[in-house]
């Protein structure tokens, strides 16, 4: 709450976010639902604006079709709950403070290298839903917020390891960045209604639980062919590093893609049959690559498998005119082509495996 005597806010902060109270060029908080990430940054926005410095704050997300999608309402709620409504003026498209500062809300897709220059004099930038921020937008934003002691904040629920914010703040974290992971258990004010939702997902939708509540990258979801089986394998710790048996043959199963820029991906599973168990040893995937790329991948990883191709393995490659089978045999691999099993065969196998108790 606001202390009239000192002119400062007294805000309860979860311990997980305390490192973010220190100055840093980049600040990030990532994790699952219910951690309080957005609430922490919204309160930090309000706190910065009652400092009397005329703070300029930019709140962005990749796409902003309406202010209803922004953090504006959350910040307005914080202004009221913290008892500092008399220090702000709520306007239609922005929020002003009595010290000359203001908060505006923008979508990065609405800007280019020229239009974004108008934000050069801003003190703070908060990127909401940062998992959706594109590489282009991140590259535009970072050099734009350039004022001395300026800061850029990111809050996000991880989606994919290749997302721009994850590569920037987790894989290649800058030295001048403070980044924390926050999940539901780190929130001392985690509400009962969310606890009920969490327990429901844990029981009924375990395949998506880790992504939604624990901040894991998206993997298998409801509707994916083998979501339940993959989740069970993960829980039973059957997914890990598996050594190849030097005596048993190595097999490579191909899902043939194409070599054009927009072609379907090519996927190869490297496996061994050990009794009645299948050990998956490696996985290779690519898009738009010629077949020589996959041959080189197999060789560089020191695999010399028997290659199993689907029935279209006898079709001609659309670049070389040679059959896929011929390419692999010319490279020194033994090849087996699985005959066409007829319409609906693949779907039938999927249904059969889904019913099995693996």
Q: How do the pLDDT tens digits run along the chain, 358 residues long?
A: 666 666 667 788 999 999 999 999 999 999 999 999 999 999 999 999 998 789 999 999 999 988 888 899 999 999 999 999 999 999 999 999 999 999 999 999 888 888 898 999 999 999 999 999 999 999 999 999 999 999 999 999 999 999 999 999 999 999 999 999 999 999 999 999 999 999 999 988 887 899 999 999 987 555 566 666 777 777 788 877 888 999 999 999 999 876 665 677 889 999 999 988 889 999 998 887 888 889 999 999 999 999 999 988 777 666 666 788 998 999 999 999 988 877 776 667 666 665 655 4
Q: Which of 115, 152, 114 is nearest to 133 (CA)?
A: 152
Output the DSSP codes for 175-229.
TTEEEEE--GGG-TT--HHHHHHHHHHHHH-HHHHHHHHS-PPP---TTSTTHHH
**Beta partners for residue 60, in sequence order:** 106, 127
CA distance 300 to 322: 24
**Beta partners for residue 261, in sequence order:** none
CA distance 151 to 247: 58
**Residue located via tokens 């809050």:** 155
CA distance 157 to 20: 17
**Beta partners for residue 46, in sequence order:** none
What local confidence, expressed as pLDDT, does residue 38 receive? Answer: 97
Rounded to the nearest angstrom, the gap between the alpha carbon of residue 166 and the centroid of all alpha carbons in its chain is 7
Residues shown for the chain: 358
CA distance 138 to 127: 10
What local confidence, expressed as pLDDT, does residue 264 receive? Answer: 79
What local confidence, expressed as pLDDT, does residue 240 receive? Answer: 79
According to DSSP, residue 167 is labeled I
Give the pairing type, strands 151-156 and 26-30: parallel
- Domains of the chain from N-terminus onward: 2-186 (3.40.50.300), 193-235 (no CATH), 251-355 (3.30.420)
Give the pairing type, strands 2-3 and 251-255: unpaired
CA distance 63 to 74: 18
CB of 340 within 8 A of CB of 311? yes
For the four alpha carbons of 38, 44, 48 and 49, in that order, the dihedral sign comes to positive
């Amino acid at each position: 709450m606001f202390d009239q005597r000192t002119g400062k806010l007294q805000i309860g902060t979860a311990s997980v976010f305390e490192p973010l109270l220190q100055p840093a060029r980049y600040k990030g908080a990532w994790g699952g639902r219910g951690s309080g990430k957005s609430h922490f940054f919204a309160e930090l926005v309000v706190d910065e604006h009652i400092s009397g410095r005329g703070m300029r704050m930019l709140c962005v997300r990749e796409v902003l079709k309406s202010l209803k999608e922004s953090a504006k309402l959350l910040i307005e709620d914080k202004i009221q709950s913290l008892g500092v409504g008399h220090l702000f003026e709520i306007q239609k498209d922005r929020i002003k403070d009595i010290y000359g500062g203001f908060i505006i809300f923008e979508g990065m897709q609405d800007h280019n290298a020229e239009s974004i220059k108008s934000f050069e004099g801003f003190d703070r930038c908060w990127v909401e839903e940062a998992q959706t921020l594109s590489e282009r937008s991140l590259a535009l934003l970072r050099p734009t917020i350039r004022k001395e002691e300026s800061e850029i904040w990111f809050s996000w629920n991880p989606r994919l390891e290749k997302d721009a914010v994850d590569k920037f703040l987790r894989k290649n974290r800058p030295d001048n960045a403070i980044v924390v992971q926050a999940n539901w258990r780190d929130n001392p004010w985690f509400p009962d209604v969310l606890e009920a939702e969490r327990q429901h997902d844990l029981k009924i939708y375990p395949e998506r639980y880790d992504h939604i509540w624990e901040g894991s990258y998206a993997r298998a979801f409801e509707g994916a062919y083998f979501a339940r089986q993959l989740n069970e394998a993960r829980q039973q710790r059957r997914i890990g590093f598996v050594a190849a048996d030097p005596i048993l043959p190595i097999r490579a199963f191909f899902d043939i893609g194409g070599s054009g820029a927009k072609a379907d991906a090519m996927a190869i599973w490297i496996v061994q049959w050990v009794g009645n168990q299948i050990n998956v040893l490696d996985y290779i995937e690519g898009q738009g690559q010629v077949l020589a790329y996959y041959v080189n991948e197999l060789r560089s990883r020191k695999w010399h498998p028997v290659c199993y191709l689907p029935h279209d393995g006898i079709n001609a490659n659309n670049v070389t005119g040679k059959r896929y089978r011929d390419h692999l045999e010319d490279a020194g691999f033994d090849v087996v082509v699985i005959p066409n099993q007829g319409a609906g065969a693949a779907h039938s196998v999927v249904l059969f495996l889904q019913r099995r108790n693996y």
